[in-house]
Amino acid sequence: MNILLIAPAMPGYTIESNYSFPMGMASISAVLKKAGHTVVCINTYHLRAPFEDELTDTVKSAASPAFDMVGIGGLSLMYPSIKAIAASVRKILPEAFLVFLGNEGSLYVLSWGGGKL
Model pLDDT, residue 39: 92
Query: Quick check: is 70 in a domain?
Result: no
| Predicted pLDDT of residue 76 | 77
Q: Show the domain range for 12.
A: 7-25+43-58
Note whether residue 19 is domain-resident: yes
Tell which residue, 40, 47, 44, has the closest CA to residue 26.
Answer: 40
Q: What is the pLDDT of residues 17-54, one digit of tens each?
A: 767 778 888 888 999 999 999 998 888 877 766 667 77
Answer yes or no: are the C-beta atoms of 110 and 76 closer than 8 Å: no
pLDDT by residue (tens digit) across 39-93? 988 888 777 666 677 777 777 777 667 888 899 988 777 888 888 888 888 888 8
What's the pLDDT score for residue 31? 92
Q: Is residue 53 in some structural domain?
A: yes
**Number of structural domains found in the chain:** 1
CA–CA separation, 117 vs 113, rounded Å? 8
Q: Is residue 103 part of a domain?
A: no
